[in-house]
Structure 1
Amino acid sequence: MNKIEIIALLTLNVFSFVLMGIDKYKALHKLWRISEKTFFFLALFGGSIGVWLGMYFFRHKTRHKLFTIGIPLIIFCQILLFFYIKVW
């Protein structure tokens, strides 16, 4: 990975983390929420660590099986894909 890819990946994860915090705030104050599809979209395209850290830091979406199983599964698949690309 080059420097630009690393910066883009870090930015996406920070954005995903912050968005999870914003959604938690909105949930507590009964405001218009961020779609779950948005979080899965961000996770699939590289923000999975940010979403996962945000879930546990903000204690948000941790009761949803779709998130507690889905996000770690996405992370696992991304790790496998990364090693597959780098090794093969």
Structure 2
Amino acid sequence: MPSLIGGWLNQEYDLCQSWGLTESYLATLTFNAAKASFANDAMKKEILKELRKAYGLEDKVELEIFINHKCGQPDDPKKRIKMTF
């Protein structure tokens, strides 16, 4: 269960985006949370693999470019991006 508002994950993403957070920033947070989790290394590897699939970034190089170069941000920072899982 998401911890910010106690709602569904997509509700939390919508709220964070209404505060001005971009899809790139939320993706960074998501990947960092997976890396910092208490899961064992094998489980972390599987979680990160599934996250890359969910974000369409199965190539690790694409993922690094997306996160480090802020790709995928809307031109208008107030534009809301739909996240579906």
TM-score norm. by structure 2 comes to: 0.34
Greater share of residues in helix: 1
- The higher radius of gyration belongs to 1
User: Whose relative contact order is higher, 1 or 2, with alpha carbons under 8 Å and at least 6 apart?
Assistant: 2
| TM-score, normalisation: structure 1 | 0.33
